[in-house]
């Protein structure tokens, strides 16, 4: 059983994401890895991409190299195909996650699988520890059916919460194991 006590923390500063583009001109918002928030190792970069305009995403992210870090991509809307030079391939759909370990290096692309409609998601870049930077590249994809979801009702928003195991903090004497 994992227990943790909540500690009050003070917000030191608020940082607004910076509009930028990457790949072949995909418009996105960079939160981590921009001048106001440059050094949060192991977090190298956090980008949010989201638009209804195909011209903002249609060119995608053609073949490009990565080495020494991992990327985690979560799709909210749209479809994006990943391909790499190690034979890994998959399509991210709403609610799915892709975890790619670049390790000692790979070349991959992320290209839209749609010509219109909303494309939205997040991508986090994680620095690998020095001992793992030359590891074998890996690719993992998790479909929406494997990702837990949570919804907040009005009651939950007022202070009651339910953990994924079904234990309610308001209606049970058992402690949430999460």
pLDDT tens-digit map of 112-144: 999 999 999 999 999 999 999 999 999 999 999
Non-local CB neighbours of 45 within 8 Å, separated by 6+ positions: 30, 32, 33, 123, 124, 125
Q: How far apart are CA 79 and CA 62, in angstroms?
A: 15
Q: Distance of CA 158 to CAs 7, 154, 170, Å?
A: 20, 6, 11
pTM for the full predicted model: 0.78
User: Domain 18-147 carries which CATH code?
Assistant: 2.60.120.10
pLDDT band at 72 (very low <50, low <70, confident <90, very high): very high
* Residue with tokens 């923390």, as numbered in its chain: 9
Q: How far apart are CA 17 and CA 28, in angstroms?
A: 9
Domain limits of the chain?
A: 18-147, 150-178
**pLDDT tens per residue across span 49-60:** 999 999 999 999
pLDDT band at 165 (very low <50, low <70, confident <90, very high): very low
């Amino acid at each position: 059983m994992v227990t943790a006590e909540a500690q009050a923390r003070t917000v030191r500063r608020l940082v607004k994401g910076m509009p930028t583009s990457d790949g072949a001109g995909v418009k996105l918002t960079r939160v981590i890895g921009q001048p106001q928030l440059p050094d949060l190792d192991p977090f190298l970069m956090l980008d949010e991409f989201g638009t209804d305009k195909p011209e903002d995403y249609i060119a995608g992210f053609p073949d490009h190299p990565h080495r020494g870090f991992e990327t985690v991509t979560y799709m909210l809307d749209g479809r994006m195909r990943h391909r790499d030079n190690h034979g890994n391939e998959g399509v991210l759909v709403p609610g799915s996650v892709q975890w790619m370990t670049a390790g000692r290096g790979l070349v991959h692309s992320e290209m839209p699988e749609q010509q219109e409609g909303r494309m939205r998601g997040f991508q986090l870049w994680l620095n690998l520890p020095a001992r793992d930077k030359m590891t074998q590249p890996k690719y993992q994809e998790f479909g929406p059916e494997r990702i837990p979801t949570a919804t907040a009702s009005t009651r939950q928003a007022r202070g009651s919460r339910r953990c994924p195991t079904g234990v309610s903090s308001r209606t049970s004497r058992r402690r949430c194991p999460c």
